[in-house]
Copies of this chain bind each other. A is one copy, B any other.
Amino acid sequence: MNEKKAVVLVSGGVDSTTCLAIARHEGYEVFALSFNYGQRHRAEIEAARRVVKALSVREHLILDLPLDAIGGSALTSTIEVPKDVPPDLMQNRIPVTYVPARNTVFLSFALAWAETLLAPDIFIGVNALDYSGYPDCRPEYIQSFEQTANLALKECVEGRMRIRIHTPLIEMTKAQIIKKGAELRVDFSMTHSCYDPDPFDRACGRCDSCILRKKGFREAGIADPTQYTQ
């Protein structure tokens, strides 16, 4: 079997898991990439291990990145994670859970691995529609990064490879993403979304990520398998 190879960024949340299922469905042999970057919700990594196993990838690489040495985010420092923000207000500000340059850092490691594997396709589950807060989730950013990537790599400059950043979820609402995942038989009970889980990794139910997850399942008309503490 000669499958096409792809590097897929997998955080273990609803979006990246659905993105991974799409890549598998499209026939890619998947090299999954996850990051331990000092995020307070390390439960992500365990979720990533579970979904990667369930979706039979070729290899799973988990890299330690010192983004917490830089800080600047509620996810990597002691800044408090906001709670109980209504979804319509989330649209109006970039939240403190924004991590400086996170997707640029993540995609740059994906590039390095893609070149080493000669795997020109990179999948990232960014989403600009239902959660437009993060600047590095927008189509104009992704297009620009792709252009930079093709100028950066030896294999591209010498004409043997062309990097393509796939963002299958970028124009979807959270409800549409959940429906798509369900259609591809994703078991969402394996995924983790909460930014601020309790010591037993149970979701808080009140951070932006939990609120959007709940809303997404509700709007999709699909039962949310998550056990929230609140």
Q: Tell me the dominant secondary structure on chain A's binding face.
A: helix
Number of copies of chain A assembled together:
2
Could you say which residues of chain B place their CB within 8 Å of the CB of A69?
A: 61, 63
A116 interfacial by beta-carbon distance below 8 Å: yes
The answer to whether A94 touches B158, judged by C-beta atoms less than 8 angstroms apart, is: yes
Residue pair B157, A151 in contact (C-beta under 8 Å): no
**A104 touching B65 in the complex, CB below 8 Å, given contacts A112-B72, A116-B72, A158-B94:** no
Tell me whether A101 and B94 are in contact in the complex, defined as CB-CB below 8 angstroms, given that A72-B116, A136-B152, A140-B151 are known contacts. Answer: no
A98: Cβ under 8 A from any B Cβ:
yes
Choose from B72, B141, B145, B156 the contact partner of A115 (Cβ within 8 Å): B72
Q: Does A71 contact B (CB under 8 A)?
A: yes
**Quick check: is A153 within 8 A (CB to CB) of the other chain?**
yes
- Answer yes or no: A66 CB below 8 A from chain B CBs: yes
Which chain B residue has the least Cβ–Cβ distance from A72?
Answer: B116
Contact of B149 with A147 in the complex, beta carbons under 8 Å? no
Q: A63-B66, A109-B70, A112-B67 are in contact. Are A104 and B154 (CB under 8 A)?
A: no
Is A180 engaged at the interface, CB distance under 8 Å to the other chain?
A: no
Give the docked Cα–Cα distance between A66 and B151 (Å): 23
Please measure, in the bound complex, the distance between the C-alpha atom of A142 and the C-alpha atom of B86, giving whole angstroms: 40
- B151–A144 touching, CB < 8 Å: yes
A56 at the interface (CB under 8 A from B): no
Query: Knowing A144-B147, A151-B141, A152-B141 touch, does A100 contact B116 (C-beta < 8 A)?
Result: yes
Q: Does A113 contact B (CB under 8 A)?
A: yes
Asked if A148 lies at the interface with its beta carbon under 8 angstroms from chain B, I say: yes
Enumerate the 5 nearest inter-chain pairs by beta-carbon distance, A residue then B residue, closest first. A72-B116, A101-B112, A100-B115, A101-B111, A135-B157
Interface residues in chain A, defined as those with a beta carbon under 8 Å from any beta carbon in chain B: 61, 63-67, 69-72, 94, 98-105, 107-109, 111-113, 115-116, 135-136, 138, 140-141, 144-145, 147-149, 151-154, 156-158
Identify 7 new A-B residue pairs, CB closer than 8 A, beyond the known A65-B65, A101-B109, A105-B109: A63-B69, A64-B64, A70-B113, A94-B158, A100-B111, A101-B153, A135-B151
